[in-house]
Amino acid sequence: MSVPFTDFSDYKVRPAMVVSNTTYNRLHIDHVFVPITSEEQTDIYDIAITDEDIPRLCKAPYLEQWICCDKVFLAETTLVKKFIVAAPSEIVRDVLGRIRQVF
């Protein structure tokens, strides 16, 4: 999907994770997302994931990626290029827990 930079100067097509719940998503064209990056992150709000965690997400040469839980954003679903895979419930719980820590 097209993910904006935090200063809104530009955007980049990159993977993102939907964090809004199914009820919200059915009622709104906008969904709540957090970006996923291949650049190593060391912040306490970031979660490292591998292909073992979420199959088909991490491809060579990016064998490890990071979910940036402190960069929550709202976007219209028309910006989504494709849905790849659903994250396991343990990762979803971890992501939502770290988002709550931000607030």
pLDDT in tens, 37-64: 888 888 999 999 887 887 666 666 567 8
Maximum distance among all Cα pairs of the chain, rounded to whole angstroms:
38
Structure confidence by residue, pLDDT tens digits, 66-94 = 999 999 999 888 888 878 778 888 999 99
Structure confidence by residue, pLDDT tens digits, 7-21 = 778 877 788 999 999
Distance from C-alpha of 63 to C-alpha of 77, rounded to nearest angstrom: 27
Q: Which fold does the domain 2-102 belong to in CATH?
A: SH3 type barrels. (2.30.30)
Report the pLDDT averaged over residues 21-25: 94
What does pTM read for this prediction? 0.82
Contacts of 15 (CB under 8 A, 6+ apart): 1, 35, 36, 57, 65, 84
Candidate from 27-36, 59-68, 92-101 with smallest mean pLDDT: 59-68
Contacts of 22 (CB under 8 A, 6+ apart): none
A 10 A CB-CB count for 101 gives: 11
Task: Answer with the residue of higher pLDDT: 1 or 17.
Answer: 17
For residue 49, how far is the Cα from the chain centroid? 11
Q: What is the CA radius of gyration of the chain?
A: 13
A 10 A CB-CB count for 33 gives: 22
